[in-house]
């Protein structure tokens, strides 16, 4: 019986297998290019995709350098040297040492107005450094001490107001915010925070007035605009709730 010689076919087949193995071994990207692109398949659902949960409202904080207080020398002060040493401790990041020295200052150093303002600046600058490490939980106490010594500094009061807002601390009250508005009238944050405080105490007319002041000063700050939207919603919600409560009282 006649049998066909298939050795040439086997030879070509072996050569093709050898070439494929060689291409895969030395040129793996070649096969990847030959492969059809894989497209991700989106699964449609009848349920709408939920938005991510809103993050806590951020505040627009100035850079740390603008929140520091420049401390000039005190050539006429008896405490020039020890206070300068505390300043150097803060700048050298010896924060615990600086804090202990500030707490140990004698009472008579606070009687001098110039030294008092200088010490307030030291507490403020220490608070900034503490905040960079521990957040406002570490800085709030220092800002309070600074404001207790000098409540005329817009930098100190703004730092205290921001830290108190973030910590939801009772120090952020009408007195502090009005004092801050007095020394920094063009800043939108104290008006906005005061509007929020007033609406929480059901003083809607006053809250609306400060909300208007904040809106006029807000600029293009997206972080502060989020807070503005939140306070605006709270005030409008209470405005609509008041007529309903009156109507229910009359019906009753």
pLDDT at 194 over 60: yes
Alpha-carbon dihedral sign for residues 173, 178, 180, 184: positive
The candidate with the shortest Cα–Cα distance to 182, out of 206, 211, 218, 158, is: 158
Backbone angle region of 68, left / alpha / beta, with phi > 0 → left and psi within -120 to 50 → alpha? beta
Phi, psi (rounded to 5 degrees) for 246: -65, -40
pLDDT at 25 over 50: yes
Structural domains present in the chain: 59-172 (no CATH), 174-241 (1.25.40)
Q: What is the pLDDT of residue 49?
A: 38
Q: What is the pLDDT of residue 243?
A: 66
Average pLDDT of the residues in 90-95: 96
Average pLDDT for the chain: 82
Give the CA dihedral 192, 190, 66, 143, nearest 10 degrees: -120
- pLDDT by residue (tens digit) across 217-228? 998 677 799 999
Q: What is residue 160's DSSP assignment?
A: H
Of the two residues 179 and 20, the one the predictor is more confident about is: 179
Q: Which pLDDT band holds residue 233 (cuts at 50, 70, 90)?
A: very high
Share of the chain above pLDDT 70, in %: 69
Q: What is the pLDDT of residue 223?
A: 79
Average pLDDT of the residues in 142-162: 97
Out of 11-15, 47-51, 103-107, 200-204, which region has the weakest mean confidence (pLDDT)? 47-51
pLDDT at 209 over 50: yes
Out of 13-17, 57-61, 236-240, which region has the weakest mean confidence (pLDDT)? 57-61
Q: What is the pLDDT of residue 2?
A: 47
Alpha-carbon dihedral sign for residues 95, 101, 102, 103: positive
Q: What is the pLDDT of residue 113?
A: 86
User: What is the spatial distance between Cα 107 and Cα 149, in angstroms, rounded to a whole number?
Assistant: 12
User: What is the spatial distance between Cα 96 and Cα 250, in angstroms, rounded to a whole number?
Assistant: 62
Q: Which pLDDT band holds residue 53 (cuts at 50, 70, 90)?
A: very low
Whether the Cβ atoms of residue 215 and residue 250 lie closer than 8 Å to each other: no
DSSP-based helix, strand, coil % in the chain, nearest 5: 70, 0, 30
Q: Which pLDDT band holds residue 45 (cuts at 50, 70, 90)?
A: very low
Residue 211, SS3 per DSSP: helix
- pLDDT by residue (tens digit) across 94-145? 999 999 999 999 988 988 888 999 999 999 999 999 999 999 999 999 999 9
């Amino acid at each position: 019986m006649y049998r066909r010689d298939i050795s040439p076919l086997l030879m070509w087949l072996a050569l093709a297998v050898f070439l494929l193995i060689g291409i895969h071994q030395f040129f793996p990207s070649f096969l990847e290019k030959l492969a059809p692109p894989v497209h991700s398949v989106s699964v449609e659902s009848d349920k709408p995709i939920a938005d991510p949960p809103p993050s806590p409202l951020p505040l627009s904080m100035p850079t740390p350098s603008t929140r520091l207080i420049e401390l000039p020398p005190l050539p006429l002060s008896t405490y020039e040297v020890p206070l300068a040493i505390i300043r150097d401790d803060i700048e050298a990041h010896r924060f615990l040492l600086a804090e202990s020295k500030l707490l140990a200052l004698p009472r008579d150093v606070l009687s001098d107005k110039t030294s008092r303002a200088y010490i307030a600046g030291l507490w403020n600058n220490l608070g900034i450094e503490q905040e960079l490490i521990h957040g406002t939980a570490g800085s709030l106490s220092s800002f309070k001490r600074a404001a207790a010594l000098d409540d005329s500094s817009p930098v100190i009061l703004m730092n205290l107001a921001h830290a108190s807002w973030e910590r939801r601390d009772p120090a952020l009250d009408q007195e502090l915010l009005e004092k801050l508005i007095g020394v920094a009238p063009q800043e939108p944050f104290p008006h906005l925070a005061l509007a929020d405080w007033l609406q929480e105490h059901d003083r809607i007319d006053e809250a609306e007035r400060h909300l208007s002041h904040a809106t006029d000063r807000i600029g293009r700050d997206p972080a502060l605009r989020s807070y503005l939207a939140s306070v605006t919603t709270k005030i409008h919600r209470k405005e609509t709730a008041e007529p309903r409560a009156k109507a229910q009282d009359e019906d009753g």
